[in-house]
C-alpha cells in the first residue's frame, strides 16, 4: 500500500507516556482508593450490578508487581463511530502486553462487536501494528455498532473467549459501548468467569467525561480539524463579505464541539444547546436572536458572518424535545404498524394523528422536510437520528422569513445571502494530533496495567491532561461510577450519563463573556491546520476547553 510522506513520518513518532508508565513495567503497582457509587439511582444500579458496583478508583505508583508478567491473551474491539487515535490505543495495548510477557497475544475482533460474536479476528503482529502507528481511522480491524447487551450474546462471548483462551476484553468506545462493557463485565463475574473487561473512553462529541475522564479521545483532533475548516470559511467570509455561513457541527447530546470550535475561531454566533434548554428558548426566540445580530452587523456594512450550530440543538429546544420524546415513544409502540407505511407523507399523517395537541402544533409548524427527517430510520436505541436533521437549513428558513418581516417594518435594510455546511465525517478519521497520539497510546498502555491487576468493569483513566504528558496521572475508574438510569425503547436502562456543557463552567463563561463582541465586530481567528512538528506550545497543546477547565 502506498503511503503519503506525512504518514511515513508519523510512523516514527514516539508517543509520550505519563512518567509512571515509563517505568519498568514490572515495577508499577496498583493502589486502591475508596469505594465509589454511581452518579444517581444508586440502589437500583447496585441491584443491577451486584458483582461490580462500588469498586474503588485505582491509581499506579512505583512498586513490585509480580502479576504483570503472566501470559495474557486479550481481545480488543473498536465499537461505534470512528475517532482519531483509536489505532494508538491498540498500539499501546500491544506494546504493554509484549513488554510484560512476549508470549502474550492481542486478538483484534473484526468489524466491531460483531467480530467476537462471529469469531472473526486477527492476531496482532509487529508488522501489522507498525503499519498503523499514529494514523487516523479504525481500519486496522474496523468498527461496528452491534450492541453487546443480551444474555445470548454474552454466552457467545464466553464461548469464543474459552475457545481461544482469551483472559480479557478491551472495548474501545463511547458511552453506550462502555455501558455494554460494564454489563458484560457483570455477566462474566455473575457466571464465575475470570475474564476481565476494560473500556477506553472514545467519542469526538466530548460528552464522555467527569473528573477522572477529563476528555474522550478524538475530541482534540476533531475540534482542531473543524476549527481549521471554520477558520478557512471565516477568512472567505471576510474576503467576499456577502454570505452568512450556517455551519452545523457534530455533537448530538452535548454542545462541546460547537463550544470548543467557537473558542478557537470566535464566530459571530454560536448556539449552545444546553443554554437554549436552560432558558426555555423556542425556535422563534433563537431566530429572533440571530436576526437581530444580522441586522446590527448590516448597519455597520457587514452583510456577512459565521454561525455555529450543534447538530443536537433541536433536542435542546424544550418544545421540540417534548415532541421528539413523544415521537420516539409512539414509534417504539407502533413499530410494525409504522414500518409498513410506504410514503413519507403518509408517515407524517400517521404521526400527526397520534400526537398530543401541544406536540401536534409544534410538529405542524415545521417544514415538511424537517418532519420527514424526524421520522427517518431510528438509531439502535429507537431514538431520532439528529445527525440527519438539517437544523442549519431550518434556521436559514426561519431567519430569512424574520428578516423579510423586519425589512417590511423598516428595521432591516441589508442583504441576506446564505451558505450551509455540515462538518462531521471530516473530523472523525484525521491524523491524530500529538495530544491524541499521546493520550490514546497512554490509555491503551494503561489498560494492560488494569487487566494485569485482574480489574474488570473499569475505564482506563489518564488525568491532568492540561499539563505536559510527563505529568499525566494513570489509573482507572469503575464504569458504574458514571451511570444513571435513562429511558430507552420505552424502558429504564442503565447507561453512562452524558456529560453536558456546564453553563457555570469556565469554558462557557469565557465564551459568554466575549460573544457580544464577537457578534458585532469581526473578531475571527484562524487556527490553521494541525501541527505535528515544532515547538511544544504549538504542537502539543490541549483544547481550550481543557485549559480553561484547569485554568492553565
pLDDT of residue 173: 97
pLDDT digits (tens, 9 = 90+) for 50-88: 999 999 999 999 999 988 999 999 999 999 999 999 999
At residue 381 the predicted structure's pLDDT band, cuts being 50, 70 and 90, is low
Taking residues 414-443, what's their average pLDDT?
A: 97
pLDDT digits (tens, 9 = 90+) for 479-514: 999 999 987 766 889 999 999 999 999 999 999 999
pLDDT of residue 485: 94
Comma-separated ranges of CATH 1.10.10.480 domains in the chain: 314-388
Task: Give pairs for 154-160: CB < 8 Å, separation 24+.
Answer: 154/184, 154/187, 154/188, 156/116, 156/117, 157/116, 157/117, 157/184, 158/188, 158/191, 158/193, 158/195, 160/116, 160/117, 160/119
Q: Cα-flanking dihedrals φ and ψ of residue 351, to 5°?
A: -65, -45
pLDDT of residue 79: 97
Residue 490: CA count within 13 A, CB half-sphere: 10
pLDDT of residue 382: 62
Comma-separated ranges of CATH 3.40.50.450 domains in the chain: 5-24+37-50+69-218+432-488
pLDDT of residue 159: 98
Question: 219-311+391-428+499-552: CATH homologous superfamily?
Answer: Phosphofructokinase domain (3.40.50.460)
Taking residues 404-411, what's their average pLDDT?
A: 96
Other C-beta atoms closer than 10 Å to the C-beta of 513 total: 9
Comma-separated ranges of CATH 3.40.50.460 domains in the chain: 219-311+391-428+499-552
Active site includes 24?
A: no
Residue 365: CA count within 13 A, CB half-sphere: 13
Q: Give me the chain's average pLDDT, please.
A: 95
pLDDT of residue 37: 96
If DSSP states are collapsed to H, E and C, what string results for 510-538?
HHHHHHHHHHHCCCCCCCCCCCCCCCHHH
Taking residues 19-40, what's their average pLDDT?
A: 96
Taking residues 231-236, what's their average pLDDT?
A: 98
Question: 314-388: CATH homologous superfamily?
Answer: Phosphofructokinase; domain 3 (1.10.10.480)
Catalytic pick among 95, 175, 176, 205 = 205
At residue 205 the predicted structure's pLDDT band, cuts being 50, 70 and 90, is very high
pLDDT digits (tens, 9 = 90+) for 122-148: 999 999 999 999 999 999 999 999 999
pLDDT of residue 547: 96
pLDDT digits (tens, 9 = 90+) for 325-377: 899 889 888 988 998 998 999 999 999 999 999 999 999 988 888 888 888 87
pLDDT higher at 185 or 211: 185
Which residues does 42 contact at the CB level (< 8 Å), separation at least 6?
Answer: none
Q: For the whole model, what pTM was predicted? A: 0.94
pLDDT of residue 380: 61
Q: Which of 182, 246, 259, 180 is nearest to 219 (CA)?
A: 259
Largest CA-CA distance found in the chain, in angstroms, rounded: 80
- Cβ(445)–Cβ(93) below 8 Å: yes
As a whole-number percent, the residues of the chain with pLDDT over 90 amount to: 89
Q: Which CATH number fits domain 5-24+37-50+69-218+432-488: 3.40.50.450, 3.40.50.1370, 3.50.50.60, 3.30.2350.10?
A: 3.40.50.450
As a whole-number percent, the residues of the chain with pLDDT over 70 amount to: 98
Amino acid at each position: 500500500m502506498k503511503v503519503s510522506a506525512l504518514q511515513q513520518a508519523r510512523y516514527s513518532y514516539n508517543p509520550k507516556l505519563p512518567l509512571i508508565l515509563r517505568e519498568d513495567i514490572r515495577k508499577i503497582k496498583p493502589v486502591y482508593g475508596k469505594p465509589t457509587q454511581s452518579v444517581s439511582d444508586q440502589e437500583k444500579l447496585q441491584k443491577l450490578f451486584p458483582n461490580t458496583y462500588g469498586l474503588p478508583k485505582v491509581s499506579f505508583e512505583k512498586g513490585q508487581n509480580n502479576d504483570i508478567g503472566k501470559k495474557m491473551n486479550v481481545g480488543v474491539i473498536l465499537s461505534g463511530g470512528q475517532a482519531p487515535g483509536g489505532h494508538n490505543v491498540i498500539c499501546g495495548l500491544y506494546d504493554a502486553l509484549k513488554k510484560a510477557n512476549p508470549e502474550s497475544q492481542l486478538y483484534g475482533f473484526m468489524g466491531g462487536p460483531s467480530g467476537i460474536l462471529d469469531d472473526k479476528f486477527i492476531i496482532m503482529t509487529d508488522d501489522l501494528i507498525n503499519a498503523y502507528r499514529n494514523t487516523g481511522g479504525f481500519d486496522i480491524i474496523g468498527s461496528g455498532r452491534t450492541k453487546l447487551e443480551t444474555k445470548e450474546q454474552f454466552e457467545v462471548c464466553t464461548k469464543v473467549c474459552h475457545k481461544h483462551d482469551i483472559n480479557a476484553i478491551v472495548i474501545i468506545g463511547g458511552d453506550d459501548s462502555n455501558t455494554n462493557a460494564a454489563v458484560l463485565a457483570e455477566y462474566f463475574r455473575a457466571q464465575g468467569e475470570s475474564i476481565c473487561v476494560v473500556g477506553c473512553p472514545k467519542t469526538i462529541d466530548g460528552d464522555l467525561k467527569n473528573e477522572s475522564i477529563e476528555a474522550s479521545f478524538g475530541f482534540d483532533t476533531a475540534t482542531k480539524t473543524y476549527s481549521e475548516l471554520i477558520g478557512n470559511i471565516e477568512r472567505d467570509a471576510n474576503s467576499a463579505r456577502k454570505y452568512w455561513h450556517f455551519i452545523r457541527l457534530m455533537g448530538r447530546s452535548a454542545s462541546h464541539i460547537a463550544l470548543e470550535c467557537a473558542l478557537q475561531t470566535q464566530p459571530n454566533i454560536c448556539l449552545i444547546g444546553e443554554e437554549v434548554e436552560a432558558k426555555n428558548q423556542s425556535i422563534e426566540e433563537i431566530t429572533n436572536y440571530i436576526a437581530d445580530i444580522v441586522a446590527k452587523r448590516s448597519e455597520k456594512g457587514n452583510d456577512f458572518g459565521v454561525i455555529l450550530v450543534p447538530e443536537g440543538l433541536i433536542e435542546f429546544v424544550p418544545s421540540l424535545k417534548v415532541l421528539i420524546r413523544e415521537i420516539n415513544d409512539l414509534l417504539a409502540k407502533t413499530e410494525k404498524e409504522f414500518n409498513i407505511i410506504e410514503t413519507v407523507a403518509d408517515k407524517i399523517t400517521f404521526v400527526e394523528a397520534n400526537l398530543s395537541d401541544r406536540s401536534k402544533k409544534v410538529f405542524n409548524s415545521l417544514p415538511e422536510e424537517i418532519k420527514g427527517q424526524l421520522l427517518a430510520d431510528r438509531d439502535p436505541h429507537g431514538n431520532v437520528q439528529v445527525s440527519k436533521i438539517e437544523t442549519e437549513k431550518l434556521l436559514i428558513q426561519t431567519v430569512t422569513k424574520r428578516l423579510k418581516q423586519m425589512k417590511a417594518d423598516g428595521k432591516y435594510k441589508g442583504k441576506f445571502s446564505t451558505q450551509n455546511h455540515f462538518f462531521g465525517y471530516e473530523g472523525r478519521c484525521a491524523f491524530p494530533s500529538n495530544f491524541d497520539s499521546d493520550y490514546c497510546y497512554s490509555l491503551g498502555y494503561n489498560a494492560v496495567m488494569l487487566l494485569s491487576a485482574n480489574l474488570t468493569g473499569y475505564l482506563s483513566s489518564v488525568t491532568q491532561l492540561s499539563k505536559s504528558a510527563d505529568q499525566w496521572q494513570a489509573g482507572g475508574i469503575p464504569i458504574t461510577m458514571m451511570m444513571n438510569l435513562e429511558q430507552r425503547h420505552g424502558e429504564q436502562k442503565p447507561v453512562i450519563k452524558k456529560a453536558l456543557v456546564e453553563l457555570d463552567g469556565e469554558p462557557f463563561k469565557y465564551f459568554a463573556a466575549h460573544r457580544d463582541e464577537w457578534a458585532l465586530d469581526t473578531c475571527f481567528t484562524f487556527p490553521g491546520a494541525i501541527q505535528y512538528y515544532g515547538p511544544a506550545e504549538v504542537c502539543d497543546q490541549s483544547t481550550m476547553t481543557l485549559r480553561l477547565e484547569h485554568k492553565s
